[in-house]
């Protein structure tokens, strides 16, 4: 026999959620007008803030100002506008939960089913050479992360979008489900939302650490570059994170594996040890021998590194940091071949 709570969970996990109201507040306005127009075309009530609301109105999209929705004005130069119970109550109450539904009605909470938010450009702000500390602080977003986290926590009922690249995905999902989004999509978008707020906080804390070093913690967050062909062994999975593609250009050939990335990293580090043209041999990241080649044309080698992994060739643009992660700690037995050229030095492995 199903209890009320079990039935409620079953409904939440199996049913799609119809979107009737959306809250849109974005700093990066790429594609937002067409996205909002598509939502409005489906009869969705759109709430918006500040510059986003102005842009949408100029594009002919009807919107409600957030102050109209909350019945409270934006104050403190916009620092407080979405930090309001009607916003977070509308996001967080559990649909289908009798107690939550009753309290929402009592408090006048209107459900918000879709949140579209991207954050103040803090990272771009602190990258400016003449940025002041006060300017940086002012670009720390408070309301945006709060709405994102509220929506993501209640992903069983609410769809949250933090990346313009997902606008078309959401619209297609709604078209295929009669204006609803699926639980699977909401789960994926919620994960992306928590990743985004985590990265945002990391950038802020790293910046503030430069102003007053606490050494309380150290964190690294690297974006996914690509899934690798396989891990340390062919039956295992692996992925590459960081900024590898900013420093290495693929010329041709099949995709690299985890072990290929390790060998490229080892070759790059080895080459940095020499100033004169030198040939070195590597086997599974281990240098096996080296020999100076004083007669090699130094101009040919200067400032470059050329890596060949069997039929795959990469041309590094400049040195950089990258990280590969495999699902195994066991050694494999690949047989890659390498020829590297950088800083007037050659390195190869076989």
Q: Which residues are known catalytic residues?
A: 153, 284
Helix (H, G, I), strand (E, B) or coil at 345: strand
Contact of 162 with 193, CB cutoff 8 Å: yes
Nearest by Cα to 36 from 44, 28, 162, 161: 44
Q: E-assigned strands of 152-304?
A: 159-161, 180-181, 224-227, 238-242, 248-252, 278-283, 286-292
Pairwise CA distance, residues 260 & 267, whole Å: 11
d(CA 50, CA 24): 10
Strand, coil or helix: 212 = coil
How distant, in Å, are the alpha carbons of 166, 221, 255, 256 from that of 226?
A: 19, 15, 10, 10
- Separation between Cα atoms, residue 192 and residue 115, nearest integer Å: 13
User: CA 178, 180, 181: angle at the middle one, nearest 5?
Assistant: 130
How far apart, in whole angstroms, are the C-alpha atoms of residue 80 and residue 91? 17
């Amino acid at each position: 026999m199903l209890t009320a709570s079990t039935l409620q969970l079953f409904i939440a996990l199996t049913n799609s959620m119809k979107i009737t109201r959306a809250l849109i507040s974005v700093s990066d306005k790429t594609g937002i007008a067409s996205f909002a127009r598509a939502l409005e075309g489906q009869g969705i009530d759109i709430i918006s803030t500040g510059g986003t609301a102005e842009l949408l109105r100029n594009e002919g999209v009807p919107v409600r100002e957030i102050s109209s929705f909350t019945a409270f004005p934006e104050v403190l130069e916009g620092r407080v506008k979405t930090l309001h119970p009607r916003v977070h109550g509308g996001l967080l109450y559990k649909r289908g939960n009798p107690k939550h539904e009753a309290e929402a009605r009592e408090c006048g909470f209107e459900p918000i089913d879709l949140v579209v938010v991207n954050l103040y450009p803090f990272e771009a702000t602190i990258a400016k050479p003449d940025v002041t500390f006060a300017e940086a602080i002012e670009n720390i977003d408070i309301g945006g992360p709060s709405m994102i986290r509220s929506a993501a926590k209640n992903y069983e009922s609410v769809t949250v979008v933090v990346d313009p690249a997902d606008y078309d995905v959401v619209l297609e999902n709604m078209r295929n489900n009669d204006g609803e989004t699926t639980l699977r999509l909401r789960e994926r978008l919620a994960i992306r939302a928590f990743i985004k707020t985590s990265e945002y906080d990391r950038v802020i804390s790293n910046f503030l650490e430069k102003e007053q070093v606490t050494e309380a913690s150290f964190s690294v967050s690297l974006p996914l570059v690509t899934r690798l062909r396989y891990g340390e062994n062919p039956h295992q999975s692996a992925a590459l994170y960081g900024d590898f593609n900013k420093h290495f250009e693929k010329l041709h050939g099949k995709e690299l594996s985890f072990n290929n990335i390790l060998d490229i990293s080892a070759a790059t580090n080895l080459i940095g040890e020499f100033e004169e043209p030198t040939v070195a041999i590597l086997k599974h990241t281990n240098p096996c021998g080296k020999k100076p080649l004083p007669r090699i044309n130094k101009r040919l080698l200067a400032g470059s590194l050329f890596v060949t992994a069997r039929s795959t060739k990469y041309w590094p643009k400049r040195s950089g940091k990258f990280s590969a992660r495999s699902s195994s700690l066991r050694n494999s037995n690949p047989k890659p071949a390498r020829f590297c050229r950088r800083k007037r030095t050659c390195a190869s492995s076989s």
